[in-house]
Structure 1
């Protein structure tokens, strides 16, 4: 009696579980997972396509390019911004909303840098923008001034996040140590004004300087009306 060698039962491709349909939100979710594990540099169309078991070309139906993808990722992260601003005066609530926005960017300074040249345009960013405009209107600022003022406020908050945000948790964050050393021994005959101001140039905590900067901007917006020649 002879025995046929055992052969594995072939598995029909029809029995493979169907891949989930591609969606914009699914692509962004995959990008967020890669961002958390590998950093923004790895958030590419090719890398996301591999994670979703599809071809990179398929993603372009939902995302224009890598820049658009990063903008959508940032908009998703902005969902964590507290746009209510808590209680207090309109200025206090405005500062609180901007501080919350900055805190989100602190954890992703690479995205913050990207947002300085490419504004997100998704629902979370629009919600933030609308809330800021509402608070400026509550403060009696004309709509035309608020429309320009809100850009200054967001630019300042974004710049603060870029300057002080750190990806490396082991980094001491003392980016100004070299400058502080030079200021401490500056030649007053060459740089008299720096010598006079001295340590004040780098004094104060990041939060204190941020709040002071917001006060300066808000006060300036309140008292600097656009002229007729500034028409849109």
Structure 2
């Protein structure tokens, strides 16, 4: 009887332990987990594009990017030194979307205007990207392609190489600043032209006679595209006057 009781108790205990084991979740072997994609500069830039597209360039930090990639920030520094380099690489990635070809058939001035317009439009299309570009030189082959095209176009116009280099810098600075300005105006908290008009209309004939005589309309008329094109034309004319080897070309 005692032996039977012991056997019965052991059987009941084994059943209970088995039931507990069945209820307990089975541990997942690390070998069975899907492996994370290996980190690379390309993978980091892909994730950065997603962050900018979703939340704007201002949200892009190394910590945020590490979270997107399910890794620690320290892992990213193997591929990217800091946020500044990240922005430089990211802007170059976006520049890959531009058409930077020229076969020589389109007149140089028209091609130059078109690429400057496209560049400004690209920066303005992503929140915060133009602001980042104001203080960051892009880093990569697409930026070099952009510079190469602009230098070729100014060479075709007869501009000497030093003036052309400075002219390219000025053209891109203005296009970047214009994109940043109009992108900022498009935000919910940004100023609009009504704010500027109100300020200009406050000019009095006694203190600001030239402003009062001109009126606010001359400062605010024209679309962003029209104003950018006017500025590009003015800058190019200045470049030609400053360093053109063939002024009538």
The answer to whether the superposition gives a TM-score over 0.5 is: yes
Shift of residue 69, structure 1, vs aligned partner: 1.0
Report the Cα distance in structure 2 between the residues aligned to 1:185 and 1:55, rounded to whole angstroms.
54
Q: Is the CA contact 2:185–2:191 (under 8 Å) kept in the aligned structure 1? A: no
Residue ranges of structure 2 left out of the alignment (5+ in a row): 1-10, 245-249
Report the Cα distance in structure 1 between the residues aligned to 2:107 and 2:34, rounded to whole angstroms.
56
Shift of residue 10, structure 1, vs aligned partner: 3.2
Report the Cα distance in structure 1 between the residues aligned to 2:207 and 2:185, rounded to whole angstroms.
37
Q: Which position in structure 1 is the counterpart of 2:204? A: 187
Partner residue of 2:43 out of 26, 46, 57: 26
Secondary structure of the residue aligned to 1:10 is coil
Partner residue of 1:115 out of 112, 133, 146: 133
Q: Is the CA contact 2:121–2:179 (under 8 Å) kept in the aligned structure 1? A: yes
Q: Which position in structure 2 is the counterpart of 1:77? A: 94
Computing the radius of gyration over CA atoms, which structure comes out larger, 1 or 2? 2
Q: Is the CA contact 1:109–1:161 (under 8 Å) kept in the aligned structure 2? A: no
Residues 1:63 and 2:83 are matched in the alignment: no
Q: Which position in structure 1 is the counterpart of 2:155? A: 137
Q: Which position in structure 2 is the counterpart of 1:201? A: 219
Shift of residue 73, structure 1, vs aligned partner: 1.5
Distance 1:182 1:166, change over 3 A: closer
Q: Which position in structure 1 is the counterpart of 2:109? A: 91
Report the Cα distance in structure 2 between the residues aligned to 1:221 and 1:137, rounded to whole angstroms.
11
Report the Cα distance in structure 2 between the residues aligned to 1:21 and 1:193, rounded to whole angstroms.
63
Q: Is the CA contact 2:48–2:60 (under 8 Å) kept in the aligned structure 1? A: yes
Report the Cα distance in structure 1 between the residues aligned to 2:39 and 2:196, rounded to whole angstroms.
50
Report the Cα distance in structure 2 between the residues aligned to 1:138 and 1:129, rounded to whole angstroms.
14
Misfit runs of 4+, over 3 Å: 7-10, 84-88, 166-171
- Residue by residue, what CA displacement relative to the aligned partner does 1:172-209 show, whole Å, maximum 9, x if unpaired? x7623122123335311211100121121222222111
Shift of residue 90, structure 1, vs aligned partner: 0.4
Residues 1:52 and 2:69 are matched in the alignment: yes
Q: Which position in structure 1 is the counterpart of 2:7? A: none
Name whichever of 99-108 and 202-211 sits farther off: 202-211
Partner residue of 2:122 out of 97, 104, 123: 104
Shift of residue 225, structure 1, vs aligned partner: 2.5
Residues 1:155 and 2:173 are matched in the alignment: yes
Q: Which has the higher contact order (CA 8 A, sep 6+)?
A: 2
Shift of residue 89, structure 1, vs aligned partner: 1.3
Name whichever of 136-145 and 33-42 sits farther off: 33-42
Report the Cα distance in structure 1 between the residues aligned to 2:37 and 2:179, rounded to whole angstroms.
37
